């Protein structure tokens, strides 16, 4: 993926940067996606995509990807600046649970604290991408249009 870290700022009402993700947003409870907001949008932004990834998950896929994808949402219009809690809006990709929805943190028991990266990607084009893309497929489609990105990182440890 292209390196396009920028001043885009991501916040959540559920947790702060490097804060504990509340249980309600995990696979151990309601499994509802957290609210996310973003500001300081790069000039020329025409759409957004959101990815939640756990790089600490002890998993390497046949395609060489690592970690665990918990959420993919894309085709988000450029005038949108947040996703509400438990949002079902816009287009969903497939997470590593095999579902087209949010799948909250649920690291293996005894595996310690995992970090969850909620990335917001700013794109220079509206892409009208199909539902059900994997993270690898999504990144291949958006990379040529990526003009900025940043992340909010939360942590979670399973009881």
Q: What are 47-85's pLDDT values in tens digits?
A: 999 999 999 887 656 666 668 999 999 999 999 999 999
Please tell me the pTM assigned to this model.
0.94
Tell me the C-alpha distance between 153 and 129, whole Å: 26
Q: Pick from 37, 39, 48, 40: which is nearest to 12 by CA?
A: 37
Cα gap 154→42, rounded to integer Å: 24
Residues of the chain with pLDDT under 50: 1
Model pLDDT, residue 1: 47
Question: What are the boundaries of each domain within the chain?
Answer: 9-156
pLDDT at position 56, please?
87
Q: Strand 19-20 vs strand 146-156: parallel, antiparallel, or unpaired?
A: parallel
To the nearest 10°, the Cα dihedral for 12, 34, 17, 37? Answer: -30
pLDDT at 109: 87
Is the domain defined by 9-156 classed in CATH 3.40.50.10890?
A: no
């Amino acid at each position: 993926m292209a390196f396009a870290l920028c001043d885009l700022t991501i916040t959540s009402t559920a947790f702060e940067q490097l804060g504990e993700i509340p249980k309600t947003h995990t696979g151990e409870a309601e499994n509802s996606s957290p609210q996310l907001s973003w500001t300081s949008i790069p000039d020329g932004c025409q759409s957004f995509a959101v990815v939640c990834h756990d790089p600490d998950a002890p998993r390497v896929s046949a395609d060489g990807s690592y970690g665990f994808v918990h959420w993919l949402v894309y085709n988000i219009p450029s005038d949108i600046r947040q996703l509400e809690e438990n949002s079902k809006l816009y287009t969903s990709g497939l997470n590593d649970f095999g579902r087209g929805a949010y799948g909250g943190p649920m690291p293996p028991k005894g595996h310690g604290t995992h970090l969850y990266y909620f990335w917001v990607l700013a794109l220079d084009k509206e892409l009208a991408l199909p539902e059900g893309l994997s993270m690898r497929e999504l990144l291949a489609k958006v990379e040529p249009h990526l003009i900025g990105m940043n992340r909010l990182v939360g942590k979670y440890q399973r009881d």
